[in-house]
Amino acid sequence: MAEPCFDVAHLGHVEVLTDKFDESLDFFVNVYGLTESGRDDTSAYLRGWDDYEFHTLKLTRSDTTGVGHVAYRTTSPEALERRVAVIEEMGWGIGWVDGDRGHGSAYRFTDPDGHIFELYYDTKVYEAPPEERPALKNLAQRYHGRGVCVRRLDHLNLLARDVSVIRDFMCEALGSRVTEQIQLDNGRLGGCWFTVNNKSYDIAYTEDHSGMSGRFHHVTYAVDSREDVLRAADIFLENGVFIETGPHKHAIQGTFFLYVYEPAGNRVEVANAGARLILQPDWQPVTWTEAERRKGQAWGLKTIESFHTHGTPPVETSTDKS
């Protein structure tokens, strides 16, 4: 096995599309508890209270829903150059863009399912205005306590027609490691969890049965405790947010999860992973069979049907259950 690659530091931000911009923004700021650090004609730039960058969620006006692009920050300018060379060689490159209000120039490419990605190093670090300065200087922003008050961007989940193709792609393009995966009886990969650092995953892909491509499953922010997830459930309940499933613990990755739909229909998760990290440099992927998955989540909750069907943008036919 080659030495591990450390060119990519972390998931940087996710652009989420909405056809109900005002309602979505109200959800993300007042219910989910993100802070808006900037806005332009098309987008609001949002972040969790301890995200160190200007934004981790770019909420963009659109005539549909789903993901606009996904961005990772590299560990250095040199690492960015190395990754771009690899991706160009792979043939998935699009080219350089100037960046936006949150970061400098970035290299665009697509995954084999058509999702747009960016890699960047130059970033804009969030500087808290006086009223948002934390009492403790090692935090990015004060714990404001508004809504669910999520702490930081954790991961996202994309749908893809062929997860095994994605598996090879992510390992080569980003140097990601596979930490867990689902091996279906038909020989296909049902899902695959990747990480570029010590988090147990920063992106996951699951199989899309809709025939569509480039779809979005969910984005997740982390909170500090399972109690925060339970409290989030009450906040969603009292604010009329549709709760799809949870709180419960995933068998895969052990994440304590709660899934809701924001007003435009994009799935959003609140999660806590406890003290679990992937520190082992030679971690071997954990492979789950269909039989094992039939046992449900960690404590036996059956996976809700819509979790396998609902993505954004929605399927054009009426088969989408959401």
Comparison of 51 and 208: residue with beta carbon closer to a copy of itself: 51
We find the least distance from the C-beta atom of residue 254 to a copy of itself, in angstroms, to be 7
Backbone dihedral angles phi then psi of residue 233, each to the nearest 5 degrees: -60, -40
The burial of 225, by beta-carbon neighbours within 10 Å (0-12 exposed, 13-18 middle, 19 or more buried), is given as: exposed
Instruction: Put the strands of the sheet holding 267-272 in their side by side order.
Output: 242-249, 256-261, 267-272, 216-222, 152-160, 203-207, 189-195, 177-183, 286-289
We find the least distance from the C-beta atom of residue 296 to a copy of itself, in angstroms, to be 10
Comparison of 21 and 126: residue with beta carbon closer to a copy of itself: 126
Q: Which two tokens stand for residue 122?
A: 């130059």
Comparison of 147 and 314: residue with beta carbon closer to a copy of itself: 147
Comparison of 73 and 83: residue with beta carbon closer to a copy of itself: 73
Whether 48 and 127 have beta carbons less than 8 Å apart is answered as: no
We find the least distance from the C-beta atom of residue 182 to a copy of itself, in angstroms, to be 12
Comparison of 197 and 322: residue with beta carbon closer to a copy of itself: 197
Comparison of 9 and 94: residue with beta carbon closer to a copy of itself: 9
CA 112 – CA 100 distance, rounded (Å): 25
Q: Which two tokens stand for residue 283?
A: 């971690």
We find the least distance from the C-beta atom of residue 73 to a copy of itself, in angstroms, to be 7
Amino acid at 265: G
We find the least distance from the C-beta atom of residue 78 to a copy of itself, in angstroms, to be 6
Backbone dihedral angles phi then psi of residue 162, each to the nearest 5 degrees: -135, 100
We find the least distance from the C-beta atom of residue 110 to a copy of itself, in angstroms, to be 24
Task: State the CB neighbour count (10 A cutoff) for residue 106.
Answer: 24
CA 102 to chain centroid, in Å, comes to 17
